[in-house]
Amino acid sequence: MTNKGEKRQKYPLKELLKLSGIARSTYYYHLKQGDRDKYEHLKHKISEIFKKHRSRYGKISFIQRFSW
């Protein structure tokens, strides 16, 4: 997001949004979200399982475990 902030200072926001085809509300929504990772909890859980099984838990096992 810092890249967008830096460019915003150099160029008018209205022009950047027009060029990129992004709605103003979308820009501010993503700006508000920051660098939040919505899958952080899943990554943590997968890492725990992988360590618990001594790094021998494969792709198929994860798919079977996480198939809803």
More confident residue, 11 or 1: 11
More confident residue, 24 or 49: 24
pTM of the predicted model over 0.85: no
- Give the model confidence (pLDDT) of 34-56 as tens digits: 777 878 888 888 888 888 888 77
CA–CA gap between residue 68 and residue 56 (Å, rounded)? 22
CA–CA gap between residue 33 and residue 60 (Å, rounded)? 33
